[in-house]
Every structure is written in structure tokens, then in C-alpha cells.
Amino acid sequence: MTYARLVGEEIANRAEGPLLFLSRSLDVGLNEAVEVEGADGSVRLGRIAALDRESITVEMLDDTAGLALQGTRVRFFGEPLRFHVGPGLLGRVFNGIGKPLDGGPPLAAEHAYRVDGLPIKPTAREAPSEFLETGFTSIDLMNSLVRGQKLPLFSGGGLPHDRIAVDIACNARLPGGAGEEEQFAIVFAGIGIPHDSAEFFREEMEKSGALARTVLFLNLASDSSAQRLLAPRFALTAAEYLAFVEGMHVLVILTDLTNYCEALREVSASRGEVPSRKGYPGYMYSDLATLYERAGRIRGRPGSVTQVPILTMPNDDITHPIPDLTGYITEGQIVLDRDLHRRDIYPPIRLLPSLSRLMKDGIGKGRTHADHPALAAQLYASYSQAQQTRVLAGVVGEDGLSENDRKLLLFGDDFEQKVIHQGVDARTLEESMAAGWSALRGLPAGELHRLDDRQIREHLLDRVPRREPVS
Amino acid sequence: MSTAETTWISGPVLRARPDGPFRLRESVTVGEQALLGEVIRIAREEITVQLYEDTSGLRPGIEVTGSGRLLSIRVGPAILSGIFDGLLRPVGDTRDPYVKPGMQPQAARRFRFTPSVRVGDPVLPGAPIGQVSNGTGIEQRCLVPPDLPGGRITAIADAGEYPDDQPICWIEAHDGRRVTVAMTHDWPVRVPRPVTARLPSDDPMLTGQRVIDCLFPVARGGTGAIPGGFGTGKTVLLETVAKWCNADVIVYVGCGERGNEMAGLLAEFTELEDPRSGRPLLERTVVIANTSNMPVSAREASIYTGITVAEYFRDQGMNVTLMADSTSRWAEALREVSGRLGELPGEAGYPAYLSSRLADFYERAARVRTLGGEIGSVTLLGAVSPPSGDFSEPVTTHTKRYVGSLWGLDARRAQARFYPAIHPLQSYSLVAGNLARWWHASGCTRWEELRRRFLTLLEDEARLERMARIIGRDAMPARQRLVLICAQLVNECFLRQSAFSVNDRYASPARQAVMMRLIGSFIEGSERLLDAGVAPEAIRDQPVFRRLMRMGEEIEDGDWEAFSALDQELTATIRRLINETRE
């Protein structure tokens, strides 16, 4: 935090919910940061939300309980909220507004960045195209993640999204990218998470030795909701610094965005704004975009920011505004499934609604494997058919099915047990592809319309029907 | 020019006390950074301004300066193959990778001008006075701005290079005024550019996508909408159409969409070649990019900026296609600004004027006779992103009332990676009847018949699939099982078309016609086989079926021999099967 430029005393006139109204005795601008020091000595952070000729409206970012009008000092910074960062960021733990929680020394403040970030010009972006291996077949083979992408996990209460996030953080690597290890960093932002989740993540990262290349931002469930809105912004500011100044490849894990949106709704309601769907503010799309769009690469700079935000779908409803708006901004989604989880399939990823939009740019010849796109497309087509056949079998019974349909049913089970399910072991892409080919062997080759003859011959033995001679 | 003093500011909206007249929709600049804004409400003592940029740091007392003009953009030869923000300010300079407040409009550039009129010639508003070249394959025209009066030319520049903002032509108007014309001129974005007449449209806007061109075509100067939930492939479909459609100029408006996607589009358009001219696609493209994290109010303006640019090229006698991705984001921007103004919300919180704004937008599509006497067209294609994929929401329902073609995207198809995921039963084209003549003239004489055939087949399929779910597929009569097999062929081979397959991403009309005919032959042949007593599964298991299923992927455009070999193979297979059953 920079030094305050101006100080106002005895200027507070009215406090209402998170809003504090001040007399305008000083020349300050919109969106600038303020610190309000109450008579009780506690310091609260705020932001100038509106201005007219007589008054300043400050939106408090901390809990306002206990704030009095008398004896309150307001310090103005003359600039929007900034995060001061410098070397030594890795391995540290901060709260949601960038204050160290680990008892360590303050950061060397070499750079000060606006926590809101700035939109990257589309022309300055480098289109993401480097395949990033996560160790999960359902992601690597079926919904590949590339560097600079934002790919959220749509989860639900009680599903193992924390575990998956940790596994991705520990196993993620560029295939064949030796010497990249030290260039890889993780920024983890816990947004309104219970203390247990925060501890779980910290412990797991420590166990795998990844903590030294991780920055943690923890906004716990007990912290104020206005701070909840800042936690991902501080985390992303740190990530941008690591990526675009120190040149690292940064994986940002944000959990749980649902808490963020709840806080957004709370703050909006207290401002008296007109609510939109389900009481969430009408600008929620734009607001979420200012977080998610901070993923990416910048042309001519070495690093990248890849985001894996996690959200829990209220009542497992994918059409709820939070997953819905997120899906419209992010480059795909990975959806977790309660049914698969109950059947002990790990990771319980429901493939049909899952998608990676940037997959096409990161896979195939020269990037992963020439047959990767066709294999993924065929597995998707067949698995989708298998799902439909399951519905059919549920009605008419398995005996009423044709032989092809029965093969599809078997394929569906096989695919879930051997391709999606992989337990605790990370797989390389080669292993994932081998598992995929092996699952397809149970199907009649004539049904595999997404594969060409050579692919069928090479990977599924010599079983392609011979071409009819033209008479 | 009037000025005003800011009295109140919150978010992107400010109020100010004017000391002179302001007009509604007048563009203004605010403060030293010259932030761009637009007057959206006026009273005697107060004006309300919507700002198109980040307002951090603004404070009461800052001066608002009126421009005297409605919110305008400067159109001219420099637009083509450029990339701009929602207010046509270039974002191509990447020395600073971030979008910052106070960006400036395009600086003057020099272009080669060749006059086509002489001193003393009479000219009308909107008439061409010469050719302009920007070094690409596309020759542009220099027009008398449509809002200038007609008159006689008193002087004109010789052929040569000139800065695009300097006068190159001097006109003495009929009313005695003397006016000058430069290669660029300003035009208010919310005002449609005038034309001589709107014309009926009988030509298709070809997209190279079979499901669109053959089943749900759009006419030149027509309108189309693509509603679809997230992940159903709206953006990829629009980009694919932008790549392969037969327009002279493409205006691509990325309205509140993803930055990485715009970067991907730019990279691809630089590499890909226009199949007709062989030049990079970017040369015929104008990209207007207002990504989701750029200021919201500029997102609202970007749609109008896009359509004004499209009309400018149309006025030069070109066929222009505008893609707006996504109109829902634009509607949401309307809602956001309306909310800040405290307007009474209508359905789903959108302002009550949403429907008329959408109508205004789609009405600007047309095939026209320009003021200069030429034929040009603007075709509008808008993506719609309905919340939760629910097509009954206001933006989708209102859009449906104004568009001629609708391509409804289906989540189930998309989940099976069946792209384009256009659902044949949720899509329509009002112009298909008018376009049949064009297909006949291009040699596809059975176009309507086969189109009808395919659509009926797909409708039957939906009905039979429901039945199959009750009684099982094997229990169905042979004829119905055959319908399912034929529908599978139409779906998998004709409707599905991978945007990433080198052979199949673009299908010329001739190739579409050939594939249509081959599938038609299969349907007819298999019906004869069925009558002869061959089981539908036996037909499906023939090797030729797999060849037909994969012909889109395997046979490239122009390889007519391969198609006729396949045709012969099909005929031979049918003959053989009939003979076998006879024996």
C-alpha cells in the first residue's frame, strides 16, 4: 500500500450498510482507494464509488460494524487500489487483500499494479496453443487444456473438486519440456472457503513439495464479503506479475467462484441496485469477465496465465446464472458428476457436457499426436451413442437391443471404468491414448465414422472392410 | 461548441451542468484525457453522459466538451483489414499491450487516389468520384458523403497519393455552397446510410456449409440468427462462415466475447486464403473487437459501429456480411446502462425498447441500389446466447420475429461433438423458395425436391426415435429402420461438417449438389432394395455405406472423378444386392 496522499478528519456524515458518505472537502477521483481509521483504531479499506459536488460515497471493503462517525479519519491514496509486488512472492501466504498471513516480512515492493487489471488488447494476445498435460485422461485426451486458457471446474457440494485441483497443480507439465520446472508457478486463491479446505490445500502442496512455487491467497468464509470480491483480483495481479514480468507459466486456481458471486449479490443488494436473474446483479457477466479474461498470453513475453476456476453449481444446476455466465466467458468447462462419484470413479468427470474450446489449437500433428483429434472425436461420438443406448436399454431391457447396441453398452461401461477412471495415478498422454484405443476395440469398425481407414488399421488391428471393386 | 461542468459521477455515467446547448446522442469528450462519451439525457440544468471508457480518477468539476455532432465514426479506406475497438479506434498497436482510457481515432494515412470524374461533371450525394487503393487486392471507391448536397465539381486532385483526411475534390453545390470531399468522412453510427431503393434478393449468400446452404439458406441482404447455449459452437460457426462465405467484405463484430478467441481469429485470418481471390482473408475483413472485459458502454455502441462500416462498403457496390457475436451481450449492455439510468425494466430486466432496438438493427440489412446507382448488400448474421440455453428468453424471441433464417444450435448434438450443431427441426429459412432458381441455374435441378426429402426424413427420424425408445429399434418395421439409417447418412455425412478438416471445412455449391444427389440416390436405391426384400441392416453393412458416410472427409472439392466412382460403386452394390435376393 502506498502512503496516503491526503487525510480527512471529521468528514464522515452517514454510514449505511457498506456505504460511507463523506463531505467532499478534498479533491479526489472516482475509484480511488481509501483507508478509514475508526475511533477504535481499526483500519478498513474502501473505494470511492460515487462523487458529487458536496459528497463522496465510499464503498467499504471491510466489515463496517463498530464504525462510528466521530473520530474517524479517512486517508485518500489518490489512485485506485494497488498491489505492491516484487521478487520473493513464491511460497508466501496472503489474505484476500494482499496482507501477509504467514508472519513473514513484507514484500519487496518493486512494482505496484492496479488490482483491477487492464484489458489486454486482442491484437497483443498470443493465441494459446501449447498443450498442458494435467495427468487426467478426461482432460488431456478428451478436453485438452492449453497454456493461457481459462477452463473452469463445474462441481457441486461434496464432490472432490479440491482433490482434482491439487492433482492438476502437482502433475501439470509441458510434455517433453525439461528444465521448465522452475518456470512453473501456482497461484491459489481461496475465496470464502472453509478453514479445512484452505488447510487441505496447503498440506497437500507441502507434501508434494509444490508449496515453494505456490502463492496462496486465503479469504476464509469468516472474512467480510466485500473482501471476497478483492481476493481473486489480488491473486490475478500476483499471477500477472509472475507471468509477464518474471516470465513464468502460472496456473491460477480460484475456488470457489460461487462464494464470489454470492458476495457480489450481497454488495449489489446493499447498494440498492436493480437485481437481474435470481437476484444477481445485471452486470455479473461483465464483472466475471474482468476476472476470467485475465488469463492469456501476451505476444513477445515469455510467461502465461492459465486459469482453473472452480465453482459449485447450486443444486447441481448447470443452468444456474453462476455456471451459465461463467460458461459464456470461459473457454469450455469440465463438469463433475455425482453419479460417477458415487460409483467411485475418479476423477468423476461427466464428459458429454464438458468441453475445451481451445483444444483444437493445442492438439494434433506437430503438437500432441496426429491421431489425437480423430480419437477424441470418435470416443465422444461413441460414448454419446452409448449413453443414448443406456436410456433405450432402461426402457426396453437389454434383451430388446440389437447386437450393435449391446456392444455399445459394453463400450460405455468399459470407457467409464478404464478411460475416465484412473484412480490416483497420473497418466501421460500416450497412456491416455492407449486406453482410448483399447476401449474402441470392442466396437464394430464399420461404425467408427470419425476414424479413417488407416487409423482403424493401425490402432484397431486389421479389421477394416475391404473396398468393393468397382464394376 | 458547448461545455459543461461535471457535478456527479458514478461508474460509467456522469451528470454535468451545461453552459450551452447539447443535443441528445451528441458525442462529448471528458477531461484532459479526452475520454469519449455520449449524451443520453438532457434537461435545462443538467445533462447525463454515458462514458465509453474506464472512469477511474474522474471527479466533479472536470469539463465536458461537446462536439456538436452525433456519436460518429470516421469511415474511409483505412478501415479495411484493420482491427478496432467498439468505437472504431485502432487497437492494432501492440507496443502497449493493454487497453487504456483515452485511445485516439485512426490517424491519417496516405492512399493512392485515381479520379474517375472531371472538373465540371455534375455529382450527386453518394456518387463515386474515384478509386482508392490500400495495397490489397480490393479496390475501394471514394464517395461523395451521402449527407453532402449534389453539385458540380470545381476541382479534383490528380491521380496520386494523398493523406486520407485532406480534401481531394471541391464541389459547388446547387444551393451555391462550396464543399470539399476527402477520402474519409464522418457518419453518425445510429443513423442508417441512405440508399436509392431496397431491392428484392434472389441470390444466396453462400457459406460453404451444407446445412446452411442447402437446408436453411440465407439470401444476400438477408438476416440470420444463431441461438445456442454455451459450448454449442456459435462462435466457431460464425468464424467458419466468415472464412468461406462469398462476400466481398466481412465485418466481424466481437461484442463482449473472449479475448483469446479474437486472437485466434486474427491469427487464422492472417494465414488463411480467400478461396476466391487467393489473398489473405484478413484483407477483406474488418474486425471490431470489444471483448467482455472492455468497457460495457462501448459494447453497446460496437454493434452500430459495425453496421455503419458494413453500410459504407455496401455503398461502394460491394456485398458485405456482418457477423455480430453476440447480440445477447449487446442487449445486456443495453440493460446495464438502462439500469444505471433508473429506467423501468421490462421482461427479464431488459429495457422495454429492446425489441425496437433489435428491429432497427436487423432492418439495416438489405440488398440495395446505392445512391451511386450500383447494387450492394449487407447481410446480417447475429449470434444469440440465451441464458441457460433457453430459447424462450426475450432476446431470442424478439430476434426470431425479425430474421429470415434461424439456425438453432442443439446442446445434445454439440455434446456428441456433432458440428455444426444446427438442429434441423429448430431451424428455418423463409427465403429457401426464392433461392431455388439460383440453384437450378447452377445445375442442381432437383434442389428443392432433395431439400424437402431430407427435411421430411429428419422429421420422421425424430418421430421414430421417440418410438424406438418405447418398443426398441429391432421391433420396428423394416421400412422405419431404413428411415433411421438414411437419416443417419444425412446427419453424419451431409449435415456434419468439420470446420477443422482441410477437405471438408468448405464445400463449393457444386460439391454440395453432388453430395446431395449421391445421398438422394442412396435413399432411392435402398428403398428399391427394401421392396426387393433386402434387410435395412444388410444395406447399412455394405462397404459403400461407410464410403458414403466419409465422403465429406475423404473426397476433396473438385475431385469429381472420385464422386462418380462412388456413384458407380453405389449403383453396382444396389444391382448386386437385387440380383442376390432374386437368386
pLDDT confidence of residue A1: 42
Residues of A in contact with B83 (CB under 8 A): 122-123
Binning pLDDT at 50, 70 and 90, where does residue B202 land? confident
Terminus-to-terminus CA distance in chain B, angstroms?
Answer: 95
> Cα A366 from chain centroid?
28
User: Most confidently modeled of A191-205, A320-334, A442-456?
Assistant: A320-334
- Chain segment A228-286, per-residue pLDDT in tens: 999 999 999 999 999 999 999 999 999 989 999 999 998 888 877 778 888 898 889 88
pLDDT confidence of residue A270: 80
Interface contacts (A, B; CB < 8 Å):
246
pLDDT for residue B325 is more than 70 = yes
> Which three cell numbers, joined as nine digits, stand for A336?
463433475
Q: How many CB atoms lie within 10 A of CB A342?
A: 9
Which residues contact residue A441 at a Cβ distance below 8 angstroms, ignoring those fewer than 6 apart?
Answer: A460, A461
CA distance B242 to B281: 9
Put simply, the answer to whether A384 touches B541 (Cβ < 8 Å) is no
Q: Which of A119, A282, A325 sits opposite B99 (nearest CB)?
A: A119
Put simply, the answer to whether A470 touches B569 (Cβ < 8 Å) is yes
Closest-CA distance, B552 to chain A, in angstroms, reads: 11
B452 occurs within a structural domain: yes
A222 touches chain B (CB under 8 A): no
- Answer yes or no: do B369 and B473 share one domain: no
DSSP of A450-470? TS-HHHHHHHS-S-PPPPPPP
- Rounded to an integer, the average pLDDT of B88-104 is 86
- Answer yes or no: do B347 and B248 share one domain: yes
Closest-CA distance, A438 to chain B, in angstroms, reads: 20
- Rounded to an integer, the average pLDDT of B482-492 is 95
Residues of B in contact with A57 (CB under 8 A): 10
User: Most confidently modeled of A36-50, A268-282, B314-328?
Assistant: B314-328
- Rounded to an integer, the average pLDDT of B208-228 is 96
Nearest CA in chain A to B256: A286
- Answer yes or no: do B373 and B428 share one domain: yes
Binning pLDDT at 50, 70 and 90, where does residue A465 land? very low
Quick one: DSSP state of residue A427? -
- Answer yes or no: do B472 and B405 share one domain: no
> Which three cell numbers, joined as nine digits, stand for B365?
440489412
- Answer yes or no: do B251 and B381 share one domain: yes
Last residue in a domain, options B185, B209, B243: B185
Nearest CA in chain B to A351: B415
Q: What are phi and psi of A51, to 5 degrees?
A: -140, 140
B46 touches chain A (CB under 8 A): no
A272 touches chain B (CB under 8 A): no
Using CA atoms, how far residue B368 sits from B100, B144, B320, B404, B416, in Å, is: 39, 18, 12, 17, 42
Nearest CA in chain B to A326: B230
Q: Which of B260, B543, B545 sits opposite A296 (nearest CB)?
A: B260
Shortest CA distance to A77 belongs to which of A21, A4, A14?
Answer: A4
| Residues of the domain holding B159 | 109-185
> Which three cell numbers, joined as nine digits, stand for A124?
497483443
Put simply, the answer to whether B568 touches A121 (Cβ < 8 Å) is no
Q: Which residue has the cell 475497438?
A: B85
CA distance B362 to B321: 12
pLDDT for residue A464 is more than 60 = no
- The arrangement of strands across the sheet holding A184-193 comes to A93-95, A214-220, A184-193, A249-255, A304-312, A153-155, A332-336, A349-356
B497 occurs within a structural domain: yes
A179 burial level (CB within 10 Å; 0-12, 13-18, 19+): exposed
CA dihedral A312, A315, A316, A318 (to 10 degrees): -90
CA distance A256 to A165: 11
- Answer yes or no: do B154 and B235 share one domain: no
What is the rounded average pLDDT for all residues in chain A?
A: 88
pLDDT confidence of residue A226: 79
CA distance A467 to B544: 8
Domain of B562, CATH number, reads 1.10.1140.10
CB B78 within 8 Å of CB B142? no
In what helix (H) or strand (E) does residue B140 lie, and over which residues does it extend?
Answer: strand B139-143
In what helix (H) or strand (E) does residue A336 lie, and over which residues does it extend?
Answer: strand A332-336
Q: Is the peptide bond before B12 cis (omega within 30 degrees of 0)?
A: no
CB B173 within 8 Å of CB B122? no
Which of A31, A48, A54, A125 to mutate against chain B (most B CBs within 10 Å)? A125
Residues of A in contact with B7 (CB under 8 A): 52-53
Nearest CA in chain A to B264: A127
pLDDT for residue B479 is more than 90 = yes
pLDDT confidence of residue B112: 93
- Rounded to an integer, the average pLDDT of A393-421 is 89
- Rounded to an integer, the average pLDDT of A446-469 is 73
Binning pLDDT at 50, 70 and 90, where does residue A3 land? low
Which alpha helices (DSSP H) does B8-166 contain, by range?
Answer: none
pLDDT confidence of residue A469: 45
- Answer yes or no: do B221 and B369 share one domain: yes
Q: Which of A30, A321, A361 sits opposite B57 (nearest CB)?
A: A30
Q: What are phi and psi of A47, to 5 degrees?
A: -145, 140
Using CA atoms, how far residue B524 sits from A468, B372, B527, B533, B535, in Å, is: 20, 51, 5, 15, 15
pLDDT for residue B341 is more than 90 = no
CA distance B154 to B151: 9
The residue among A334 and B107 whose pLDDT is bigger is A334
- Rounded to an integer, the average pLDDT of B428-445 is 93
B478 touches chain A (CB under 8 A): no
The residue among A419 and A170 whose pLDDT is bigger is A419
pLDDT confidence of residue A180: 54
Put simply, the answer to whether A467 touches B547 (Cβ < 8 Å) is yes
Domain of B7, CATH number, reads 2.40.30.20
Residues of A in contact with B51 (CB under 8 A): none
pLDDT confidence of residue A175: 74
Which alpha helices (DSSP H) does A193-308 contain, by range?
Answer: 195-207, 225-244, 257-270, 284-292
Which residues contact residue B26 at a Cβ distance below 8 angstroms, ignoring those fewer than 6 apart?
Answer: B38, B39, B66, B67, B68, B69, B70, B71
B577 occurs within a structural domain: yes
- Answer yes or no: do B290 and B361 share one domain: yes
CA distance B67 to B189: 15
pLDDT confidence of residue A182: 59
Last residue in a domain, options B377, B397, B432: B432
Q: Which of A122, A299, A392 sits opposite B262 (nearest CB)?
A: A122
What structural domains and CATH numbers belong to chain A? 6-80 (2.40.10.170), 84-362 (3.40.50.12240), 372-459 (no CATH)
Binning pLDDT at 50, 70 and 90, where does residue A179 land? low
Domain of B327, CATH number, reads 3.40.50.300
pLDDT confidence of residue B295: 86
B34 occurs within a structural domain: yes
- Answer yes or no: do B181 and B201 share one domain: no
- Rounded to an integer, the average pLDDT of B494-512 is 92
B82 occurs within a structural domain: no
Percent share of chain A, pLDDT over 90: 51
Put simply, the answer to whether A30 touches B55 (Cβ < 8 Å) is yes
Put simply, the answer to whether B547 touches A276 (Cβ < 8 Å) is no
Q: Which of B256, B291, B472 sits opposite A122 (nearest CB)?
A: B291
B276 touches chain A (CB under 8 A): no
> Which three cell numbers, joined as nine digits, stand for A289?
469477465
pLDDT for residue B580 is more than 60 = yes
B88 occurs within a structural domain: no
DSSP of B141-181? EEE--TTSPPEEEEEEPPSEEEETTSEEEEEEETTS-EEEE
B336 burial level (CB within 10 Å; 0-12, 13-18, 19+): buried
> Which three cell numbers, joined as nine digits, stand for A324?
451459465
pLDDT confidence of residue B46: 94
Nearest CA in chain B to A318: B388
Put simply, the answer to whether B568 touches A470 (Cβ < 8 Å) is yes
Residues of A in contact with B544 (CB under 8 A): 468
Residues of A in contact with B254 (CB under 8 A): 122
Shortest CA distance to A267 belongs to which of A229, A233, A220, A314?
Answer: A229
- Chain segment B246-266, per-residue pLDDT in tens: 999 999 999 988 999 888 888
- Answer yes or no: do B47 and B128 share one domain: no
Binning pLDDT at 50, 70 and 90, where does residue A59 land? confident
- Answer yes or no: do B142 and B281 share one domain: no
Residues of B in contact with A121 (CB under 8 A): 91, 94, 96-99
- Chain segment B530-550, per-residue pLDDT in tens: 999 999 999 999 999 999 999
- Chain segment B389-407, per-residue pLDDT in tens: 889 999 999 999 999 999 9
Closest-CA distance, B7 to chain A, in angstroms, reads: 5
Put simply, the answer to whether B10 touches A30 (Cβ < 8 Å) is yes
Put simply, the answer to whether A384 touches B542 (Cβ < 8 Å) is no
Put simply, the answer to whether B230 touches A470 (Cβ < 8 Å) is no
What is the rounded average pLDDT for all residues in chain B?
A: 92
A353 touches chain B (CB under 8 A): yes
B92 occurs within a structural domain: no
Last residue in a domain, options B432, B456, B471: B432
Domains of chain B: total? 4
B173 occurs within a structural domain: yes
- Answer yes or no: do B386 and B240 share one domain: yes
